[in-house]
Structure formats: C-alpha cells, structure tokens
Structure 1
C-alpha cells in the first residue's frame, strides 16, 4: 500500500499529528484537507531531504533496515529488535559495558549511578525525583525503543493495519520507501568519488561456480580423511586450495573465527563459503570420518553444469545474515552506489556508520572482508586500482541482476550444522 491508501484509514487525531510533523498549514477538522496537505508535503523532495538530514544516526539505521526488506508488514517485536540493533554505537561500546554493573546496582538501590548521599529540602527532593526518573529509564531500556517506533508513527512513516490480525502489524508505505531510498542515495552520492575504468581489474564472474565443480571432482578422486570434528587435515586442505581459481592461505592458529558458516573456522573465507554451499546442497558427506560425494554430488559432477550466480549469492546472504543483520541493505546500497567505478575509501566512509561490528570483526572488517570482499568472489563486484583514487569497485551486470532479483527477510537466515 502507498501513503495515500494508509492515510485514508487513519483517524483525525493521527492525521493531525502527521500533518504537524510535516509542517502542514491546513484545516485540522477536515480529513480530506489533512490528507491532501500531507501528500503534497511528502511529495516535496526538499522536505524529505530535510527530514533525512535531521535524523540521528540510530533513526537512520532503523529506517535503513526497512527500506529493502521484502515484507509488507512487521510485528512490534520485530521492530523493537531492529531499533535495538540500530543502537550499537552506544550499547556495544566499552564504556557502556563498563557502566552496566553500576547502573544495575544503582537501580537496585533506587538511585542513579552519579547520585551521592541524598540532600535535604527542595533541592534534595528535586534530585531524588530526577534520580528516580533516570533510574526508571535505565531499568527500562525498552521504553526508549518504543519511543522510536512511536516517533516514526507520528511522522507518518509507520502505520498499523486496520482489520483482523493485521491491526497488530506495522506497515511502511511503498512510495515512502522509494522516496527515502532516493533521499539517502543522494546523501551518499554527494560524498562519493567516481573515476574512469582502470587499466586492469579483477573480475571473478563464474569462478565460484566453476570451483564448486573442481571441489566435487577433487573429492571424487581422492580419499580424504577427516578429523574427529569433521575438518580436513592441513595437508589435504592445502592440496585443495592449490586447485582453486583464487589463491587463499589457511587461517592462522589463534584468532577466533565463527559466525560466517560451519567450516569458517577451518578454511579461508572463500573456500569456507564454497565448502558450506556444497554441504548445504547435500553434494558432499562427512560420514565415517571421510569426505565423499553423495549420489546427488556425483550427479552434479557428471552433469558439469555450473550453478547460476543468483543461487550462490542468495546462499551467501542467508548464511551471513546472522553476523551481518543488515547485509541485504548494504548489498543494495553497493549495487546503487557502485553502478560506475567508485573509490573504496569513499564508499567505506558513507557505509561504515551503518555497519554493526561482530565480535572479533570491527565495522571496517565486516564491510571490507565479509561484504565487499565476498561480493568480489561471488562475481557481483569488479575490483580495480586507479592511480588517483586507489582501490575502486564497480558492479558487474550479473551482480546487478542478482541483487535486483533477490529479496530476503529476517526469517530466511540459515544456520548450518
């Protein structure tokens, strides 16, 4: 549904609040006039740009999480989770984690962490009242999350359904989604640096799919023993890596590696994705401490038919979504912003505020290694080097088709066992 349809279901009180948020000057007792004024205001590009510019980064992250989602409706719990995920600068900081025990102790004692002994008289009463308010806010962070959702409703960006169980779901008008995408896109593009086609660039289109067949062929020809936890021995893994189209080294011992697939701890990034894909498709088996082909794996190998880029791309999205919750929006922004050769530094600068760190990966590692790097391996992006701009990226035609043709939602993530 579009904004006009949703406004038609809203009551006068809600329309009045939305009109005030848009700065409309109209007859507040006429539903028709309120709707027309809101639609006129919402259609003005400069007003949408001003709304985007006025948003704090947490609100922008929350909004961004909705713009490329395939679903039409969201439950309150889903929206609360998204608002919570949008606040990682504050909740994931060392200072915030260090303050948590103090806040908990203060809440238990009925005072704020900064509050000393209670003062007497009016000043003491005011201090106690303020402290009680601070303690209530600290003890109920959910209230702040709900305030964000209420603010989006008052601005006319979120609407409740109007019949049956739909009344308990929230909707974002489709045309508003498009306007916000355009406004955010303009904001990003102003800060990007674009260049001409570099003299040389890397293009890995079809290589991942070809290497899937190489992997199956290698397993078919060799007796590959596995460790007790199902991993390849180093010698066998090294032999396999030497066959593949893109050179990678086995990960060193020590650093934590988890969150991006079942064999991510054992293999370098690209091979881990490739191996997990073949396992997910049930082409390989780890039974009886041996790595072998299944019947469907033998059939796949004999057919010699490469998988389409969309299949590998969709698997990657679903597998990485647990560690990178907004991976779909990041990929869609990269698709739009790297339609021509763009500098990696400027692309990183506009997208990093929207990237949540993941345990041992800081935001830059998540963006560069887990998103941009894997998009190159999947053949979605070309990577080049420009004399003036340094590293540059550009989407491939196959990559643009894959991104436009695939939408996933939160319920489509996968965990491999």
Structure 2
C-alpha cells in the first residue's frame, strides 16, 4: 500500500513524497532504509523503483480514485451538518450483519482534505465490496472534489445547518457547499432524500438517470416513519416495523431512518435491517448516555457544537422522561457573532428547567436570555464543580453541549466520579 510519512511507514509500502509544511522528498533515503519497495517523486533520484511525476499530490489522488472505482462496487457518500458519523456507523452496522463484515469498509473518520481521504482509500482491502465514506467540509468546493475522487453510487445529505458558519458569509453558501454532493453525482446513482427537509428536497438533483429514494413522515415516500407515544414505527412497501431505542432517543431514530434508506436502496432485507438498528450503540461524545446513581443521566454531546446541533440536542433532551431537563452549554468554536440568539429561542420553546452557560462571553448573549426559566453562569470548570452537587436531584437528565476544543467533556468525567457511574 501507500505511505506519505516515514514515521508511520510500513515495510513494502510505496512511499509518496508530498510537498507541504515538510518536503517529503527529503525523506526518500530514509523511506528506502525503512523498507519501501517503490517511490513516487517529483524529482529524479538515484534510487531504484522510483516513478517521477509532475505533481505527487495529483498523482496520489488520481490513483486513489481509480483504485476505488475499479475495486469497490458500492460507494456510499454521507455528508451534512449533523449526524454524519451516526448514519455512517448505523449503515456499517446493518451491512456487516446483513451481508458480511468481511465485505464492508467504513472510513474511520470524516476527511475534508484530499490527502487523508486518499490515504483512507488506499487502506481498503481488496476483499471489500462496499465502502461507506463520511465527507466533511470547511470551505466551498471541498465536497465536490471529494465526491469526484470517490465517484459515489449512493449519496445522502443528513441535514444542512449553520455548522462552519465562520467560513461562509451567508447560510445560502453553506447550502450550496453541502449540495455539491448531489450536484456532482454521476448518472445511475442513488440519491437518498430527506423529504422533511425543504432545503434538501427542493435542491436534489433533477436527473432522470439517477434514482431518488425518499424518506420522511409523508405517506407517499419510500420509507415513512412516525413516533407515537415514544413508539418508533417504520413503514416500507406496506410492511411496518417497531424499533426500540434506549432512552427513546429521537436523534438516533431519525438518523436510523437515513441509514435504513441507504441499506434498503441497495437491496438489504427490511426486517433484518430494522432489527439490526436495535443493537446500535451510541457514539462517545455524540449524545452519549452516561447513567449515574439517583437515576441521573448525562447526555454527553461534547464532540462538536453548532446552533443546528444544539437544537438537535435540545430536542433529544426534552424527548426523554425526566424530573427536570438541564442544559449545560459551553462555547461554540465556529459560529457567527449572534449565534446565541437562535439558541436561546430554541431553549424558550423547549421544556428545559435550568440552563447553565459555561465559559460563554457575555457579549454573545441575547437579551432574550432573561425570558428563560432559570439561568446559571459558570466561568470555568471549578465554578461548575461547586454548583452541580448543590443543584442536581434524582431523575435529572443533563445535556452537556459544547465544542471539544474547550474540553467540556471533563464535566461528564467529574459528574461520573461524583455520582459513581452505574454502568
């Protein structure tokens, strides 16, 4: 296979000398000593088995693209502002149980750079027949390029919100950037369309050579879903299935419908796929439940944060039966100046009893905050540690939300120690 870094180079791999912060051409001799069998370079060297190209990065991307197009039959691309990792994990769960774990590959994490994306392609075994990719982005054009490399046969956009809003002047630009996935699809592919999202529905590709597979709450879609009295029901081709989720997690349920749509669109059995979803495990840092004594539950959603993901988290929090719903909100890394206004509106329209704002600058706070039920300020983790033991009661459910760069997950660790995690 291929390597671009001598620190992680494996014997008999091909070494690609890339130019960046460090010039890989300086390490060709070291790569030879470490056991590389061939080399991709922009300069001629006195080394055997060296291939000279004009641009090693373009050559790396081109060969990765050719490799996956020729070796993987079903290439699934997932993007969106929220839920990408969850949908990817759920699709992998279904496919590995309904086909064969030996034939399914899921990208370890989302990449919005071409080097990481290409290297992940090179790591795919020739035994794999299905590959699931999570496409991230920070700027316009990134998803289009990643999609061109992958040439997906199935594509899904989970949602479009204000994530990465610092890099875009207006929301319409975020929509265009996310929709690059559908806009760049080849013919004869499958688009998974969430009919509940007017943005995605109105902008899906109008191409008669592409199959549109729809899901939503309306009766005419391919997969219809509903939740009645905390009961989750899915209907497909006049068959229905009841799915049980821990804590009646509405967030996991809605992502599950997306994953189910992807799986059914390639012929997986409806009953088997639905049953697989009941064994889905939550992902740490992504509305991950932590059960404490006194029936206190923490929903750790500290992996990342945006106004849209906060709204999703609040919806999930208030959907769970609890004596009190408590929100602990930390800073957002990528946001526009007035981001707190929309968040406070979401809190206003929810059943949140206590809102704790952690390490958030006062200049970002909207005047609407004074209309909330109960508000507590904490400047740092030490302050929060003094407040929480006096505040929490039996059967409280706490949503812990904030960008991971601020290490808000330490609050979950502290509470787990204080109240002794049950399991």
Larger relative helix fraction: 1
Larger Rg: 1
Higher relative contact order (CA 8 A, sep 6+): 1
Larger relative strand fraction: 2
TM-score, normalization: structure 1? Answer: 0.25
TM-score, normalization: structure 2? Answer: 0.25
